[in-house]
Structure 1
Amino acid sequence: MIRVFSKNKSISRVVILNVFGSFVLQGISLFTAPIFTRLLSPSDYGIVAVYTAWQGLFMLFIGLQTYGSIANARITYEKVIIDAYLSAIMTLGFLSFACILGGCVIWQGPLSSVFGIQRNLVILLPIHSFCVFVVNFYTTKWMQFKDVEKNAIFGVSIAIVSVCLSLVFIYFLPEAKYRGKIYGAAIPQILSACVFLVFLYKKGRCFYNKEYWRYCLKLTIPLIFHGAGGLILSQSDRIMLKKFVGEESVGIYSVGYSLALIISSIWGALNTSWVPFYYEYKKDSNRELILEKAGRYMTLFSVLTMGFLLLAPEVYKIMAPSAYWNGIRLIPLIALAYYFNFLYAFPANHEFFYQKTIYISLGTLVAAGINIGLNFLFIPVYGDIGAAVATVVAFVFLFLFHDVIARYVVRNLEYHFKFYLCGLVSVVCVAILYYFTLSFWYIRWAIAVCLGVFLLLRIIKQKALF
């Protein structure tokens, strides 16, 4: 039976709370980045980045991406059984975790050599990954049911605790500071996951249901391959930089990505706000409302991306000492990659609504293959710039592939978006301007102020973010 959820929470309220939470989280990240880049050497930072890359790989299979089915289950199942559904599919995640943890215990030594990390971190990897999965599962539930207040409070709280613990561990582990950073991130996730699991099973009281497992796996098995491709797109460049260039290059590259994560996090907050309402509009066949709000969404994110690019060099210099400043030239390329990721989400959300996840995984895997191939060609010659260019090209392909699929394969008559070009051209022009005005901060900041005023007036006029 179809579950009809309350729409009493406006999209603007949800977006504001999500974006506010994202800004606070990024504020914490920016405020603490100068501390960590001074406490950790580029080599230490590189080791943390490599650990994070392998953690992303583990998370593809630990959990089986089951939280990817929550959005569709929300509009499929009655409220009285949705909690049972959630607890049942969590069991799938726990079973996959048990298998992977067992493998890590048995082959701890060989995996330590393959991963390039200490033996004790090989055991921590699956545990940490599973707990991050559980946390993501629960926060996805909050977002899909529009409990944005809980999501914002939890996100900020765990970020603050992680920073404090990392600083404490770095102080007490002066000979291996990278371990302090890793332990500080892992412990809050582990404790939170334990609490969430208790609440989930206490409320759902369902460990197994054949129908729920079948429904979930039909949606999420393709997402594992999608996640594999996404991981390659986001992390393979760091692993290959370490192989071809060295850990120091990985550290500098990762700091550049850390700054660009501001725009990625904003997109994540906007997209998680947009999807529940978009699904409701699609379900109601409300074409005009979709086009109106999607156009506003496009304008909002395009202006925010341009503003980020215009302000980024000075923020980067505050964020990291001079040893990392080579990463400044990477920012426009990384931002463009994230912008194409934003564009790709429009057709991908359309495909996901119709449960055509096979196309999502196919596109991501092909894009990942393109990224690996270009990394092999570009990194030995151009280093970190080559890695960034390869990522941009892969995301351009990803967007074009899904746009074609959405228009001509998956219910093409219902896919109406035609407004990409204006925003894309504007962002590309600002990315080019970035390089010509690196020494003229006042020009970039003046343009950024003008864009901010334009966006503010537009929001006031339309009385909504979307």
Structure 2
Amino acid sequence: MDKLLKKLFSSKLVKSSFWYTIGNFFIKGISFITIPIFVNITTQAEYGLINNFTSFVSIFSILVGLSLNSAINNASFDYKEKINEFMSSVLFLSTISLCLFLLLGNIYFLFSNTFFDLNQVVFNLMLIQSFSTFVISYIQAYFTINFSHFKFLILSFVSTVINVVFSVLLMLTLFTQNKYMGRVVGGTISFVIIAAVIYWIIMFKGRHFIDKGYWKYALRISMPLIPHSLANIILSQFDRIMINSYLGPAAGGIYSYISNIGIILSVVWVSTNNAWVPWFYGEMNKENYSTIKKVSNYYLVAFTTIAIMVMIISVDLARIMAPEEYYSGLALVIPISLGYFFQFLYSLPVNAEFYEKKTNFIAIGTVASALINIGLNALFIPKYGIIAAGYTTVFTYFLLFMFHYFIAKKITSRQLFDTVRIWSIVIFMLVFSAVLHIFIDYVIIRYILLFGILGILVWYFFKNKNRIMNEFNS
């Protein structure tokens, strides 16, 4: 084990992943801590509208920015000596895109009063915040590829804190009668201030605006990834928009609140994936396929254990952090957490596809799953309410995992992961989720279940400690 850890932490990539993991937990922790603040100073309807607005920002940051931040990685190598000129020129291209969206969007409002419950003022604020979010992600992409993890973390921390503080101040002062607008205006102003500073620095350093060569290069990389990025946003965010449309903002507020509680498992997944990917790439490069299979088994067990703990604890956190009117959505904790579990599972074969540079399959699978998710939500949300959105998301992520699992096997022409172990864990998690749903209101039984599972795992580890250590060191 010691040899393996020394080997891993000697890598520059792993060191960066470690700091991204620490920073991610810290930054997401700030967002998580503020959930009860926003829940308690807003009504369910206002909270639902706020999250609806946030979902649109996620979608339009990709559209307005044309996903051009995805071109930074390749450009950092291909235009290493002229990266400043490249970045300023491509950022100017995204500025033209923003102007076109503002123009077309306001023409749209000549014929309609709302855009998915957004009036014209909020729609324009949404576009401006979307562009500002893109600008921040644009420079973050540059920080990431250059291993500037501390700059990445500082920027993420500053933007998160300013956004939260400024929004809360406006909601409690100037917008006490319309806290939804206070959150929207506060978020927009804070992101615009940060993005304006970044924008000026990039333009000042590059001083390069129109360059068709740079534009073609960037668009050739970014355009195919727009459907994949949008599909991911749809899978994670569009159910909130559909609930808001079908059932109203109050129901959307309940669903958004429980979804935000699920951020715990999301942070764990993103963080562990950051650590897993560089190790996985290194082993693939060395063709250590047996090692990948062995270690992935323990990775599966470790994440499954964390998922079980989070699912049980999140039920109680959801009770503590919000008023009783949100309790009707407590059962959503189970499918939302299970959805993140299947996201983790599908990331295993997807990483193999990324390694083999077969990204077309990634886009196909994600887009197909997003379309299925929309169709299922349209069919079941009006009939069964917000609980339907949780389980349709679980089902579509399960399909996404199935698709990529078989595609990765075909692409690599080998069995990288233990099929029996994976399906055993999948069946166990489905049974566990059903049992947890039955006993969701029985605190003692839930925690007896938790400690029982943890006890069995600890016993198994100590019984097979020598064999496990040998497998890790082999």
- Residues 19 and 443 of structure 1: CA distance in aligned 2, closer, same or farther (over 3 Å): farther
| Equivalent in the alignment of 2:25 | 23
- Residues 413 and 81 of structure 1: CA distance in aligned 2, closer, same or farther (over 3 Å): farther
| Equivalent in the alignment of 2:162 | 161
Structure of greater Rg: 2
Does the 8 A contact of 1:109 with 1:119 survive in 2?
A: no
- Residues 425 and 68 of structure 1: CA distance in aligned 2, closer, same or farther (over 3 Å): farther
* 1:404 aligned residue (398, 403, 406): 406
Does the 8 A contact of 1:87 with 1:206 survive in 2?
A: yes
- Residues 207 and 289 of structure 1: CA distance in aligned 2, closer, same or farther (over 3 Å): farther
Does the 8 A contact of 1:87 with 1:205 survive in 2?
A: yes
- Residues 384 and 350 of structure 1: CA distance in aligned 2, closer, same or farther (over 3 Å): same
| Equivalent in the alignment of 2:248 | 246
Offset, 1:239: 2.4
Deviations 1:315-343 (A, max 9, x none): 00111110111111001101111221222
Deviations 1:114-153 (A, max 9, x none): 2312321111111100111111222233333333333333
| Equivalent in the alignment of 1:444 | 446
Task: Report whether the alignment pairs 1:306 with 2:313.
Answer: no
Deviations 1:46-100 (A, max 9, x none): 11122122223312311111223445556x5375455555444434433322221
Offset, 1:112: 4.6
Does the 8 A contact of 1:85 with 1:212 survive in 2?
A: yes
Does the 8 A contact of 2:239 with 2:377 survive in 1?
A: yes
- Residues 261 and 333 of structure 1: CA distance in aligned 2, closer, same or farther (over 3 Å): same
| Equivalent in the alignment of 1:4 | none
Offset, 1:242: 2.5
- Residues 413 and 167 of structure 1: CA distance in aligned 2, closer, same or farther (over 3 Å): same
| Cα distance in 1, alignment partners of residues 103 and 434 from structure 2 | 50
Deviations 1:223-280 (A, max 9, x none): 2111232233223322222232222111101101110122113322333444455455
| Equivalent in the alignment of 1:145 | 146
Offset, 1:382: 0.6
Does the 8 A contact of 1:139 with 1:151 survive in 2?
A: yes
Offset, 1:186: 2.2
Task: Report whether the alignment pairs 1:387 with 2:389.
Answer: yes
Task: Report whether the alignment pairs 1:430 with 2:432.
Answer: yes
Offset, 1:376: 2.1
Does the 8 A contact of 2:14 with 2:278 survive in 1?
A: no
- C-alpha RMSD of matched pairs (Å): 3.3
| Equivalent in the alignment of 1:113 | 114
Name the SS for the 2:36 alignment partner.
helix
Deviations 1:377-431 (A, max 9, x none): 21121101111111111111112112222222x3434855745335434433432
| Equivalent in the alignment of 2:127 | 126
What letter is aligned with 2:139?
Y
Does the 8 A contact of 1:18 with 1:270 survive in 2?
A: no
- Residues 359 and 350 of structure 1: CA distance in aligned 2, closer, same or farther (over 3 Å): same
* 2:360 aligned residue (347, 358, 361): 358
- Residues 204 and 345 of structure 1: CA distance in aligned 2, closer, same or farther (over 3 Å): farther
| Equivalent in the alignment of 2:100 | 99
What letter is aligned with 1:157?
V
Deviations 1:14-61 (A, max 9, x none): 344333223223332332222211110001011112212222331231
Does the 8 A contact of 1:69 with 1:216 survive in 2?
A: yes
- Residues 449 and 50 of structure 1: CA distance in aligned 2, closer, same or farther (over 3 Å): same
| Cα distance in 1, alignment partners of residues 170 and 126 from structure 2 | 18
| Cα distance in 2, alignment partners of residues 216 and 234 from structure 1 | 26
Does the 8 A contact of 2:292 with 2:416 survive in 1?
A: no
Question: Once structures 1 and 2 are overlaid, which stretch shifts more, 362-371 or 270-279?
Answer: 270-279
| Cα distance in 2, alignment partners of residues 363 and 110 from structure 1 | 36
Name the SS for the 1:439 alignment partner.
coil
List aligned pairs for 1:54-69, cutoff 5 A.
54-69=56-71
Q: Which residues of structure 2 form unaligned runs of 5+?
A: 1-8
- Residues 44 and 203 of structure 1: CA distance in aligned 2, closer, same or farther (over 3 Å): same
Deviations 1:275-324 (A, max 9, x none): 45545555565546655664554344322222110101110011111011
What letter is aligned with 2:230?
A
Deviations 1:343-393 (A, max 9, x none): 222233333344433222222221122112211221121101111111111
| Equivalent in the alignment of 1:333 | 335
Name the SS for the 1:62 alignment partner.
helix
| Cα distance in 2, alignment partners of residues 12 and 327 from structure 1 | 39
Q: Which residues of structure 1 form unaligned runs of 5+?
A: 1-6
Offset, 1:206: 4.8
| Equivalent in the alignment of 1:42 | 44
- Residues 158 and 432 of structure 1: CA distance in aligned 2, closer, same or farther (over 3 Å): same
Aligned-residue identity in percent: 28
Does the 8 A contact of 1:70 with 1:140 survive in 2?
A: yes
| Cα distance in 1, alignment partners of residues 220 and 177 from structure 2 | 47
Does the 8 A contact of 1:337 with 1:392 survive in 2?
A: yes
| Cα distance in 1, alignment partners of residues 196 and 355 from structure 2 | 31
What letter is aligned with 2:337?
A
Does the 8 A contact of 2:64 with 2:94 survive in 1?
A: yes
| Cα distance in 2, alignment partners of residues 335 and 428 from structure 1 | 12
What letter is aligned with 2:265?
I
Offset, 1:156: 2.7
| Cα distance in 2, alignment partners of residues 59 and 182 from structure 1 | 15
Name the SS for the 1:305 alignment partner.
helix
| Cα distance in 1, alignment partners of residues 284 and 213 from structure 2 | 25
Name the SS for the 2:334 alignment partner.
helix
Question: Once structures 1 and 2 are overlaid, which stretch shifts more, 438-447 or 17-26?
Answer: 438-447
| Equivalent in the alignment of 2:225 | 223
What letter is aligned with 2:189?
I
Offset, 1:158: 2.3
- Residues 26 and 452 of structure 1: CA distance in aligned 2, closer, same or farther (over 3 Å): farther
Task: Report whether the alignment pairs 1:51 with 2:41.
Answer: no
Name the SS for the 2:40 alignment partner.
helix
Offset, 1:204: 4.8
| Cα distance in 2, alignment partners of residues 10 and 421 from structure 1 | 34
Offset, 1:174: 1.4
- Residues 186 and 21 of structure 1: CA distance in aligned 2, closer, same or farther (over 3 Å): same
| Cα distance in 1, alignment partners of residues 138 and 453 from structure 2 | 36
Aligned length: 456
Does the 8 A contact of 1:252 with 1:324 survive in 2?
A: yes
Does the 8 A contact of 1:67 with 1:140 survive in 2?
A: yes
TM-score under structure 1 length normalisation? 0.86
